[in-house]
Structure 1
Amino acid sequence: MVSRRQVVVARVYEKARRKLREHPKQIDAKFELFCKDPLHNSLDFHELDRLPHKGWWSYKVNDEIRTIVADQQDCWVVCYVDHHDDAYKWAERRRFTVNLLDGSYAMAPPISEVVEQVETVPETTQVFRVPLSGYTPEQIMRLGVPEDWAKHLVQATEEQLGSLLNQALGEDWMPEDVIERLFDLVDGKRPYRELLPPQISVLLPSELFRRRPRDFWSPESEEEIRKAIRGDWQQWIIFLHTSQKEAVERDLQGPIRISGGAGTGKTVVAAHRTAWLALKYPEARILLTTFTELLANNLRQRVEQIIGPLGGTKIEVENLHSVANRLFRYEMNRTERLIGNGTPEMDALLEEAIQRSGRSESLQFVRAEWEAIIDAWNVRTLDAYLKMERIGRKVPLPPNRREELWSVFEQVWQLLEERSLMTYDAMCHAVAEYVNQHPELRYDCVVVDEAQDFGPAELTLIRALAPADKPNSLFLCADSRQRIYRPAVPWSRFGIDTRGRSYILRVNYRTTQQIQEFSESILPLSIEGFQEDEAQLLAQRPIALMKGVAPEARSYENLEAEMRGLKEWIYRCLNENIQPGEIAIFARSNRVLEEVEHMLEEIYRERGIPGRKLGRETQPVPYEINYGTAHSAKGLEFRAVAVVGVNQSNFPSYAVVKDITDLAERQAKEAQERQLLYTACTRARERLYVSWSPTIGRSKFLEKALETLSRPLQQAHSSNSPRRGATGPISEGSS
């Protein structure tokens, strides 16, 4: 019976729905009606019997829009939505196959419709590599590949194989985990036996779909359907891809490190790891921590999506400085007021220390030495300073120079004590020492997100909070590309040795291929790092699963014109059904941000849409346009992102580099500024807009990135991946 079957929703439907800007309310209303009554007259639900591959049906949203549904024996699978002709072309191009014996499925056309049959390679001096020639079609099928595809893939050259897999990835012909297994097999990253998925035999397709929650969703009630529509289908955020699940469930003695580029799901993995630990160790005290309170709130929401409210559990989700401050106040009974490095108050204290010492040192040099060496590593004596390695500082400093400077730093420590002040780094060191003396304060398990930006003080505390003698006690997620606050330090110095226990996430679920290509071109040629897997991580580009429009890059004669162009872009986004809360604007300088605020005030007067300034504790909300500094972008994501004021004064920031005279030190700081711009750009899921003024003042960081907008797209799975086409605009804005 047509009307009594279960309704299943494919993830590809959600992607198509999000991409289609028109008639969102009608699309959702007709979907809800279809779930209740597929035979309702207004749906005109009928089989597309003229298509080459049977089993496709369609229902009507309105005169323009059609939804494609697959007939899968005991259920209807809602697969796609688009304009009438485009929707039918999508179905015409696909064959929905389900293998009940091994639990696999595909929406791929027959291989004969995709490529010509493999021709015999002519005799030539050129050598053609056939990466999968050592495997039988049956072995490839066991990875979840349809039979006709498997027979072709074992004969395909490296170039043919790369092209086919990239196309299958972009067209959603096969599940993401199947494509990833094939990439890994081609690259030789993992042995075949490790890539084999569990063989699950099922009786009915609906049972198979229930076992693949990453790819399908079966609404159980009308309320669940309405909740999904209201929440923009965010139930998929709590499901794990196969490679993410493997990372989450690593059961090892010793610290574990999870690495991956922007959008690979490190935060999702951290949240799921916390839930997994809570299930494995019901009585364990678990800390999930990160860099800021905003990021901690985001993590808390994700964990609660997985296991429900945290009240009554032994899970604590808190940013690390908040954890340290709590222990500092309530366990150690300390009362010093905290002072932040880089603040006007701290700069004034450093100036006073210089005057007290009687030396004529520059504030800039003293501040840099204090922050990177003295305070970060808790250097309290001249002897310790003389022996200290200069990790985090590129400027060499001979012993006699250190002796001269120590008179300044001695005064700094004295002033802090006299005024009952303490830096955050000093607090972390003090708390770590106290916890080591009182091990009962330790957590059983500690999970850390955004670990790349923690410095020596925080890493010392993290190591103290997690027991060294228990399995699964310390789990760190990090991306060296997004290190924007601290210089790289070797974790092994703090007893955090992840050798042999590192795992790299390779699939980018957030940004489009075009945004990833653009953003990666901003990065420095080499990124400093000390962890054992960083070279491998940085050599491998993530596999971006989504295709989209190319980033927009626009130049303007002056800042006023740049703001007019930004306002026009915001209105275009709103007209394309991108909601205000899905838009974010980031800038490097406060001056540019002030102009952004004035422009958003105009939008509020014209459209009634307010702006919301992001900060360390300020969450985005649905109905306000977000804006903030480039640093405030950390850990967030939006459908549309604008990065403005990308000129040679802001990237790199003139204020940051102007007083640096040492070449190596300047290069290191500029590399960090590049990584900051990369981090801001990769917050975008679908739309990225980059602008600068004046026209001739463009940041040098954009040089390579702009080249990506006029060349075929590189979808990388290995160093010699084929390029696929996508171009984008580089234009000069009107003044």
Structure 2
Amino acid sequence: MSSMLYIPPTFFTSVPKQVSAQTTETLRKLQESADLPGLHVEPMQQPADARVRTVRVNDQFRMVVFKIDNPDGGEPTWIPTGVYNHDDAIKIARSSVCTLNPATGIPEIRSNGDSEADFEARLRAHTAKLEARHKAELAAARSHIPEGTEHTPLEHYDAAHLVSDLGIDHDLAYAAVKANEAQLEALIDAAEIPWQAEALLALAVGDPFAVVLERYSAAPANEARKEGEVASDRALLEALATDTARSNFAVFTSDDDLQRVLESGDFEAWRLFLHPEQRRYVTLHTNGPYRLTGGAGTGKTVVLVHRTVELARRNPEARIIATTFTTNLAEQLRAHIQSLDPDVRIAENLGDPGIFIANVDQLATHIVRPGADLSEAMREVLGWSSDVPRVRTNENAAWSDAVATASLRTPIEGVLEEVPFLTTEYASVVLPFALTSAHEYMRASRKGRGAKLGRKQRTAMWNIIEAFRDSGQLADEVTFTERIAIATRMLDLHAEKNGRVADHVLVDETQDLDPVRLMYLRALVAEGPDDMFLAGDEHQRIYSTAVRPSHYGINIRGRSRRLRLNYRTTAQNLDLALSILDGGDYSGALDSDEAGSDELTTRHGTYRSLMRGPAPEFFGAETLSEECDHVAHVLRAWLEDMGEDEHASPRIGILTRTKTQRDNLVRALEERDLRVQNIDRGGYLNSRPAVMTLHRSKGTEFERVILFGIDDQHVPYAVRGYNFDPDGHNEAMLRERSLLYVGATRARERLLVTWTRQRSAYLPR
């Protein structure tokens, strides 16, 4: 029987790259048996905690671990805390203790006897680094603040209250309540215990104290605790078993679990850790549709994947659908679910027990398929029917032809000449409500549609729709969106006799779904407990216009929450990404009673990151050749700095607005003797730097990112060539902002933005 391993996230940052493979083998052996040859598990002389050990990694490095014996017998539990040079490991091990926080009961690994002087020294070092990074910005900000009026985010809290009730370290709490924003950032950097930094940050951005206390409280152990007191083995094991404690550790119960993670090459894999705020949404029981929102990197997909597996484990016979907008994201969703639990039941067909995974359009092909009776549904949706209609691939050209045909009957002008307006009107008003006559369209509600249409304009619009549908009938073709509307009606007809085809539907990237697709998802599952779980972020809406689900039968009714803490992007990169959104109003898709709906018009106080790193870099070139030269120069330096890439996936991403830019850049880099890979629809070919469009980058992340060609000719780009109405123009501009925001949030550590001649207006000055 294997031992259990509880690995805190700080462990992974301590492992030197040159011994990562040996660390992997050491962990594997330790889980199998501490008696295996070569481990040399050694206790310390006069340790602060008698359970601490060091384990051999190689002749130079040792691993510091805690051995927690099971009082009831059986294999011990191990807590590895770091890998260090031999002498440093001995010193760290002797002074380390494994204890329980006296207020929350969370297990903590800390240096015993960390004095006030130690804390202040650590704080001074972090403050100096902070000011070195942001000297100019801090000076500029302070010059506009009258003396004595600097904002202190935690000034309304009593330090003693933070210590006694929340368990924040004494020195940290008393410093935090007096700190201005810049000082609090340094304090959070200096905090020894990660969850305490997160708790202070949550309070600083406005989370209620009661909510934060609940989030960071583990079930109390069956013994009294005093600050700094070494906890018993039984108390530690009880605390480690709680959800809150487990959210601070990666938990491995078998050799197979450990091997899968270690072989992935990504110790900090998303699937290992669930923050307390995230975990509650995994197990949450709802009485109807639930929406979880949050910025890039806040863990929405993490929650959705864990919740999907949780529902499957709770009821192996449940029919669960996990879906998202694009094929690439659906494939990633499948990989994440199977990686989290390789034994989870994957359904082969829609309606089978288990988890069925596909993008929304693929789901519809399982309803509108050869052999299915489409006639009644097609007549009700389109006014005509066919046995097996083909997919219409030239939709934009068909709409242009329809405008030309309709203009022979009535004048067509203004927004009715523009394909984007026509397709959106069709998908938002006509198809969702199965309108098949001019009379129905005249009386239909256009709630949420910006451009107002008078009676003459509606008549002209319907003439265009009739011409569009007539050409489709003549060719025996339907668009993807029409097919989904047909599938929705078929599901409704099926439900009248046989019920719905799913018990739970979980949807990622909801912000990119139009009304027709939302109504299709609603038709898959009956209203009831845990029926729908929607994860999305309006700031990342790059395909659709703003849609309120309540207008199309998905009634959130206040069942929504927002994740605020970013786990992927450094604070510096996040600040740049959020500045791109400044000036955009993203509240159009949220109902007024939804949590956080008032925050989508501003970036301030919305999302925060605990990670720190270098400031983003900018480079403006006079010519495209000069821009390519600079990218090649930086890429060479990064590749040399990062060393040989042993990862299966690229660690560097280069993102462009258009496919033409992507292809030209790949050729330019190859001409400069740099080998990269051109990524379109498929996955990665190797570990070389990946060049892709901003759209394709959705759902990816890299250690380092270059945003290439972010000039005024390419960003914004989608509005070129169209005569939008004011609302349509604003929507298109919002999507362009969102697209650049998506690109900026793909970087975990370093970010470079380049352009030729005139930078994009979306970039901060």
Same fold (TM over 0.5): yes
**What is the identity, as a one-letter code, of the residue corresponding to 1:646?**
I
Q: Look up the equivalent residue of 2:425 and give its one-letter code.
A: I
Preserved contact between residue 44 and residue 94 of structure 2 (Cα < 8 Å)? no
> Normalised by the size of structure 1, how large is the TM-score?
0.80
Decide which of 664, 677, 688 is 1:595's aligned counterpart: 664
Report the CA distance shift for 1:544/1:570 in structure 2 as closer, same or farther (over 3 A). same
Match of 1:304 in 2: 338
User: Distance between the aligned counterparts of 2:166 and 2:256, measured in 1?
Assistant: 37
Secondary structure of residue in 1 paired with 2:632: helix
Quickly say closer, same or farther: Cα 1:509–1:125, change in 2 above 3 A: closer
Specify the alignment match of 2:8 in structure 1. 10
Q: 1:546 aligns with which of 611, 629, 649?
A: 611
Equivalent residue runs for 1:41-440 within 5 Å: 69=64, 77-81=79-83, 96-99=97-100, 102-107=105-110, 109-111=114-116, 113-115=118-120, 131=154, 137=160, 140-146=163-169, 148-149=170-171, 153=173, 158-160=177-179, 166-167=185-186, 169-171=188-190, 173-176=192-195, 179-180=198-199, 183-184=202-203, 187-189=206-208, 191=210, 194-195=214-215, 197-201=217-221, 203-204=232-233, 205=236, 208-209=239-240, 212-217=245-250, 227-232=260-265, 233=267, 237-307=271-341, 308-311=343-346, 313-329=353-369, 331-333=372-374, 334-340=387-393, 345-346=397-398, 349-350=401-402, 353=405, 357=409, 359=411, 361=413, 365-378=417-430, 379-388=435-444, 390=446, 394-439=450-495, 440=499
What whole-Å deviation, never above 9, does each CA across 1:239-280 have from its counterpart, x for those lacking one? 321111111222121211101110011111111111222233
Once the two structures are TM-superposed, the CA of residue 304 in structure 1 deviates from its matched residue by 1.8
Partner SS for 1:623: coil
2:229 aligned residue: none
Once the two structures are superposed, residues 583-616 of structure 1 have per-residue CA deviations (whole angstroms, 9 ceiling, x without a partner) of 222211232112123145458xx57x5614232x
SS in 1 for 2:285: coil
The alignment covers a number of residue pairs equal to 676
Measured in 1, the distance between the counterparts of 2:284 and 2:539 equals 24
Distance 1:594 1:355, change over 3 A: farther
8 Å CA contact retained: 1:391, 1:489: no
Instruction: Report the CA distance shift for 1:635/1:659 in structure 2 as closer, same or farther (over 3 A).
Output: same
Q: Distance in 2 between matches of 1:262 and 1:100?
A: 31
Aligned counterpart, 1:483: 541
In the alignment, the residues of structure 2 paired with residue 111 and residue 5 of structure 1 have an alpha-carbon distance, to the nearest angstrom, of 37
- Structure 1: runs of 5 or more not aligned: 117-123, 705-735
Q: Residue 339 of structure 1 contacts residue 423 of structure 1 at CA under 8 Å; is this kept in 2?
A: yes
Q: 1:611 aligns with which of 663, 666, 677?
A: 677
Give the RMSD, CA atoms, in angstroms.
4.2
1:454 matched residue in structure 2:
513
**Which one is further off, 356-365 or 436-445?**
356-365
Identity of aligned residues (%): 24
The verdict on how the C-alpha distance between 1:28 and 1:137 changes in structure 2, with shifts beyond 3 A counting, is same
**Distance in structure 2 (CA, Å) of the matches to 1:685 and 1:125:** 36
Structure-2 change in CA distance of 1:280 and 1:45 (3 Å): closer
Aligned to 2:382: none
Task: Give the aligned partner of residue 559 of structure 2.
Answer: 501
Secondary structure of the residue aligned to 1:581 is: coil
Deviation of the 1:557 alpha carbon: 2.5
- In structure 2, relative to structure 1, the CA distance for the partners of 1:220 and 1:321 (3 Å cut) is closer
* 2:663 and 2:678 in contact (8 A); partners too: no
- Equivalent AA in structure 2 for residue 594 of structure 1: D
Using a 3 Å threshold, how does the CA distance of structure 1 residues 507 and 406 change in structure 2: closer, same or farther? same
Write the distance in 2 (CA, Å) between the matches of 1:698 and 1:129. 36
How much does 1:699 deviate?
0.7
Tell whether the 8 Å contact from 2:218 to 2:239 is kept in structure 1 after alignment.
Answer: no
Amino acid at match of 2:552: F
Provide Cα deviations, 1:38-88, integer angstroms capped at 9, x if missing partner. Answer: 998999989699x9999988778789x755625566576433457899x78
Pair 103,471 (structure 1): closer, same or farther in 2 beyond 3 Å = same
Residue 667 of structure 1 and its aligned partner are, at CA, apart by 3.1
Q: Which moved more, 1:282-291 or 1:661-670?
A: 661-670
Aligned position for 1:518 = 576
- Looking at structure 1, the residues matched to 325 and 629 of structure 2 have their Cα atoms a distance apart, in angstroms, of 35
- Tell me the distance in 2 between the aligned counterparts of 1:276 and 1:228: 20
Q: Would the alpha carbon gap of residues 171 and 32 (structure 1) be closer, same or farther in structure 2, given more than 3 Å must change?
A: farther
Contact 1:70 1:96 in 2 (8 A): no
Contact 2:159–2:177 (CA under 8 A) maintained in structure 1: no
3-state SS in 2 of match to 1:656:
coil
CA deviation map 1:514-565 (0-9, x unaligned): 2111111111423232313352453542221322222222222222332233
In the aligned structure 2, how far is the partner of 1:164 from the partner of 1:128?
11
Counterpart secondary structure, 1:586: strand
Q: Aligned pair in 2 of structure 1 residues 163, 507: CA closer, same or farther (>3 Å)?
A: same
Give the TM-score of the pair, scaled to structure 2: 0.77
Structure 1 residues 383 and 223, CA, compared in 2 at 3 Å: closer, same or farther?
closer
Q: How many angstroms apart in 2 are the aligned matches of 1:188 and 1:553? A: 34
Does the 8 Å contact 1:258/1:505 carry over to 2? yes
Distance 1:581 1:168, change over 3 A: same
Which piece of structure 1 moves more, 437-446 or 229-238? Answer: 229-238
Q: Is the 8 A contact 2:301 2:508 kept in 1?
A: yes
In 1, Cα distance between equivalents of 2:108 and 2:293: 30
The reply on whether 1:466 has 2:525 as its aligned counterpart is: yes
CA contact (8 A) 1:354 1:361 kept: no
- Aligned counterparts of 1:684 and 1:485: Cα–Cα separation in 2: 22
Matches within 5 A, 1:674-693: 674-693=737-756
Structure 2: how far apart are the matches of 1:632 and 1:669? 18
Say which SS state the counterpart of residue 701 (structure 1) adopts: coil
Q: 1:411 Cα deviation (Å)? A: 0.8
SS in 2 for 1:511: coil
Q: 1:646 aligns with which of 697, 710, 735?
A: 710
Matched, 1:699 2:704: no
Change (3 A) 1:643 1:142: same
**Distance in 1 between residues matched to 2:365 and 2:611, nearest whole Å:** 42
User: Contact 1:377/1:457 (CA < 8 Å) preserved in 2?
Assistant: no
Q: Is 1:238–1:305's contact at 8 Å kept on the other side of the alignment?
A: no
Q: 1:145 to 1:256 in 2, by over 3 A?
A: same
Name the aligned partner's letter for residue 508 of structure 1.
Answer: N
In 2, Cα distance between equivalents of 1:48 and 1:666: 71
Of residues 400-409 and 681-690 in structure 1, the stretch that sits farther from structure 2 once superposed is 400-409
Q: Which amino acid aligns with 1:506?
A: R
| Alignment-mate amino acid for residue 629 of structure 1 | T
1:183 Cα deviation from its structure 2 partner = 2.2
Instruction: State the distance in 2 between where 1:633 and 1:466 align.
Output: 31
1:398-454 deviations in Å (ceiling 9; x for gaps): 332332343223211211111111122222222212212221243111111100111
Once residues 561 and 48 of structure 1 are traced to their aligned partners in structure 2, the CA distance between those partners, rounded to angstroms, is: 61
Counterpart CA distance in 1 for 2:238 and 2:181 is: 33
Greater shift, 511-520 or 541-550, is seen at 541-550
